[in-house]
Structure 1
Amino acid sequence: MTEVLIAGAGPTGLTLAIDLARRGVPHRIIDRAAVTGSRGKGLQPRTLEVFDDLGVIGTIRAVGGPYPPMRAYSGTDVVWEGRMHDEKPPSASVPYPGAVMIPQWRTERILRDRLDELGGRVEPVGLASFEQDDEGVTAVLDDGSRVRAAYLVGADGGRSTVRKTLGVAFLGDTHEDERMLIGDVRATGLDRDHWHIWGDMANHKIRVALCPLAGTDEFQFTAPLAPGDEPELTLATYQKMFDECSGRDDVRLTDLSWASVYRLNIRMVERFRAGRVFLAGDAAHVHSPTGGQGLNTGVQDAYNLGWKLGAVLRDGADPSLLDTYEEERLPVAAGVLGISTALYRKAAEGQADAFKRGEETAQLLLAYPDSPLTGPGGGNRAPDAVLRDRDGVPVRLFDLFRGPHFTVLVFGDHASGGSGLAASVPGAVKVVAIGEGGDLLDPDGEARTAYGLDGPGVVLVRPDGYVACAGDESALRSYRLAARSQ
């Protein structure tokens, strides 16, 4: 019997499979076909930190790139230029401050390659049905084979077989009158340094746009469709729409590699867990594409669930720990859904700041303040910081966090507090002593300040990069992960 069966090998399912693989948790991941097309093309700063931990950030940054500046035209005349995101330099606490553009097909290929490195693979078969009982889940696959697993994770998209079988309500709306023609094409006659837009810029209404996809020679084509319009998904259709909406005849589209009609869906489940079955990613929440939140929220669903499954299945944690997946992720997903919906409405209404994106889309501020796993001083993202070893060589906290373990940061003379916290959590724990008597130094106090400590103290960092608790030894002495999850 496998421990975890993952239905769906998009970014959500692959993130979970990688996390389980590095924890040594037996699992299977299934999907009928690999994704095609650019789809979710933006990776937010918090997702980049997740991918740093999973060992793919170097490849992601090598083939991806920053969002290009936007350039709007009336015919061939440039009428407006601007950026969606304010450019920010990396800092000690936020090493990846900007979103990275990379087509979804390439993100998935990178994640599949990483899973292969860890000894896993995606099986090219779909889920037909399943039943669960008190001891596990029995699934029937498209090829007729049966799989017995301790847990099933539905990461199988907005039309999720897992969600439908569970009968979990998918609350929200599908807006059939708000649709968009989208596709990946090559184009001659345009530079690849700008996101090219034609429309009514006074009202911030887009008629057609071509966005160069980093690391490729393709553009993502987008154009709103009129109600009732059901276009044929052919290159001729895309060319005709571009010509009519742009008023130009000097740009030629070629090589339509992916074509689709997007229908606005804004939906979310009322629960993320039913017995031994979990929902994650688009199976649990679907967003407007505005703000680039959907894919990123799904990745972080998986990142939250992965370490908890590992703690229960490999390290003997109380199974009640798994209840905190829904307790933590449902309110976060609801909040993010509100952000993406509000951004979409700004664009639909032509508001002046419709194209601007602020800190709320970076997902660095997402937190778990009310989680039963959050102790004193905990709940927020664990920031990066630069320490020094005894020879003065810089050491990043993110390098120390990387891996499936908890991390205890001991600032000053709190060795007993560090060992006490290490005993309170399941699985591997890395204790890092920082100060004159430790292995690493924080000469300017930047790391201590980043974690809200005025002097000596102890910080427990979860495997998913969130602070579980922080403070002095007396405040943290009673922290127990399993006990707090009950």
Structure 2
Amino acid sequence: MSNPSVLIAGAGPAGLILALILLKNGISVRIIDKEMKHRTGSRGSGVQARTLELYDILGVLPNIMKVSAPVPPTARYARGEIKPVATTTLISYVEPSPDTPHPNACNISQDIHEEILRTYLQDLSCSVELGSQLLSFEQFPDNVVARILKTDANGNQVEENTRFDWLVGTDGAHSLVRNQLGLSFLGETQSEYIALGDIVVEGLDPKLWHAWHDPPKFLALRSNSSTSKVFMFAFSGSSENKTLTREEFIEEFYALTDRRDITFGPATWLSNYRVNMRMVDQMRVGRVFIAGDAAHCHSPTGGQGLNSSVQDVANLGWKLALVQKGLASDSLLDTYSEERLRVIAQMLELTTSLYRKLFQDRKNDEAWARGGDLRMLGVNYCGSSIVQEDNVMREASADPYSKSSIGRVQAAYRAPDAPGLVRAGSEDAPTRLFGIFSVDVHTVLLFGGDETTRAEVLGRLPEHAVRVVVLLPQGHTAANSAGSALILEDRAGHAYAGYGLRGDVLTVVIVRPDGVVGAVAAGVEGVEQYFQKILA
């Protein structure tokens, strides 16, 4: 039996999502983690709107939503006061719309989040290999040899040297993969330590998060759900590198809050760290990649970390799959760094700004406000060498986090959803674009035009790398089958409205497997130019 094609070192959300994407592309993977047991603790709990869209396309969203909850308001207190001095809505609610069905972030404990993703992996006959630590690796022109230390439940250890086609390090801020590659990790480290943990709390409303401030100390309690008595705490204000015990945390809590009406049960997870704002200047060296915290770490303010990590691997996964299948050249993998580093730099700027506002003046409402760009719906790859668009000037200087303002679908930005699509000439149940998009194929959407102009495009598309969807305006039917294309009537009118397109002129929208629009073209020439950039 041959070795898996890709070794993923690190089984947090980034590693798990990458494994899912590759497996859905038919690429074999092995995912390892040095821990002997799956990690517990709520840790990074905020899942932003753009990540929810990716999860929808990937097919994992239903089970995530079953156990998630809206992000609640935060109550801020003065010492000894039972009633809050202010209650701040971190993220204002946005009404879902046909093109954006998941506009609001949700809250889910990271250990539960990871457990759900592991279940989806198991459905694809893949499991996380615990007790397997990557010790080192060596690159060759056509493979990577990884040295792995395996430890069983009895403490017995054995080393192996195994060959893979590719290695991806999703192994956290202290990444062995990054360190062995010798990549720079420039930025700054704060002097303060932040103590974290999960603890049972009696006497606080779990429908709210709670915060106290007495400079230089700050303490927040974040409930795991609206009915849970388990809260994650974050305590800062100490320059001592020490993980607080449960008893030490309780002592600090009472000293800061003077709230003896609040009592505590068991603590299930405790940790300690200093905030770093750092990033690499490249995410690929030969056959080895890094993603997530291995490539960038930052303040937790803004809830961008887990989400940026997932979006890293969404960008990498489809490209790596195409190259592994022999459908694209190796140079496509260079665009992983090209596209993601620009976004990560902006993310660091945003989260660092929020961190400084919060820790310089924690009574400033501006420091507590979230939403807007932090929903990540405007994250884009403007200026990318593989983005292709006809007739509209490429916005190479566009803000990496801001939405397009041109009033219609644009290459480099997210592809909107559109419900109410019905197979032409039928009364079938309606579908939607997020149910059609897939992580294993480009989706080519044909809007408008006539049978002749559409046939010209259809005859020039690569056969094995695309799914074709002809979208007819409301009330229209097709004269022929358009080959293997799926022909849908925009019966509710949301596709043409949401994409800002006309029914009398042919427009081809090419949606990448990561849900990003790769091209908006007026005809065959633009389509061919795009796929020349992507495929071998």
- TM (norm. structure 2) is 0.85
Code of the residue aligned with 1:447 in structure 2: it is A
The answer on 1:410 being equivalent to 2:458 is no
2:103 pairs with one of 86, 97, 121: 97
Aligned counterparts of 2:4 and 2:199: Cα–Cα separation in 1: 41
Q: Quote the residue 2:465 is aligned against.
A: 427
Q: For residues 236 and 392 of structure 1, do their structure 2 counterparts lie closer, same or farther at Cα, with a shift above 3 Å needed?
A: same
Q: Secondary structure at the match of 2:249?
A: helix
Aligned counterparts of 2:524 and 2:29: Cα–Cα separation in 1: 40
State the 1:478 CA deviation: 3.1
State the 1:260 CA deviation: 1.0
Q: Quote the residue 2:205 is aligned against.
A: 191
State the 1:206 CA deviation: 6.7
| 8 Å Cα contact 1:29/1:121 also seen in 2 | yes
| 8 Å Cα contact 1:197/1:206 also seen in 2 | no
State the 1:417 CA deviation: 5.0
Code of the residue aligned with 1:431 in structure 2: it is V
State the 1:262 CA deviation: 2.5
Q: Quote the residue 1:45 is aligned against.
A: 49
2:31 pairs with one of 16, 20, 29: 29
Deviations 1:373-393 (A, max 9, x none): 111141111011123314274
- TM (norm. structure 1) is 0.94
Code of the residue aligned with 1:323 in structure 2: it is D
State the 1:77 CA deviation: 2.6
Q: CA RMSD in A?
A: 2.0
Equivalences for residues 462-473 of structure 1 within 5 A: 462-473=512-523
The answer on 1:481 being equivalent to 2:481 is no
The answer on 1:357 being equivalent to 2:373 is no
Aligned counterparts of 1:448 and 1:401: Cα–Cα separation in 2: 17
State the 1:230 CA deviation: 4.6
Aligned counterparts of 1:92 and 1:278: Cα–Cα separation in 2: 36
| 8 Å Cα contact 2:443/2:513 also seen in 1 | yes
Aligned counterparts of 1:431 and 1:86: Cα–Cα separation in 2: 35
Q: For residues 216 and 406 of structure 1, do their structure 2 counterparts lie closer, same or farther at Cα, with a shift above 3 Å needed?
A: farther
Q: How many residues align?
A: 480
Bigger shift: 85-94 or 385-394? 385-394
Q: For residues 115 and 430 of structure 1, do their structure 2 counterparts lie closer, same or farther at Cα, with a shift above 3 Å needed?
A: farther
Q: Which runs of 5+ in 1 are unaligned?
A: none
Q: Quote the residue 1:366 is aligned against.
A: 379
The answer on 1:225 being equivalent to 2:229 is no
Deviations 1:404-449 (A, max 9, x none): 22111112224225415632x8524243443323432224643123
Aligned counterparts of 2:306 and 2:247: Cα–Cα separation in 1: 30
| 8 Å Cα contact 1:387/1:440 also seen in 2 | no
The answer on 1:147 being equivalent to 2:158 is no
Equivalences for residues 251-290 of structure 1 within 5 A: 251-290=262-301
State the 1:394 CA deviation: 3.2
Aligned counterparts of 1:474 and 1:402: Cα–Cα separation in 2: 23
| 8 Å Cα contact 2:11/2:33 also seen in 1 | yes
Q: Secondary structure at the match of 1:395?
A: coil
Code of the residue aligned with 2:28 in structure 1: it is P
Aligned counterparts of 2:342 and 2:460: Cα–Cα separation in 1: 28
User: Could you tell me the percent identity over the aligned residues?
Assistant: 41
Aligned counterparts of 1:155 and 1:437: Cα–Cα separation in 2: 48
Code of the residue aligned with 2:26 in structure 1: it is G
Deviations 1:150-185 (A, max 9, x none): 11111100000001101111111222x222121100
Code of the residue aligned with 2:366 in structure 1: it is D
Code of the residue aligned with 1:479 in structure 2: it is Q
State the 1:322 CA deviation: 1.1
Q: Which runs of 5+ in 2 are unaligned?
A: 151-158, 390-409, 479-486
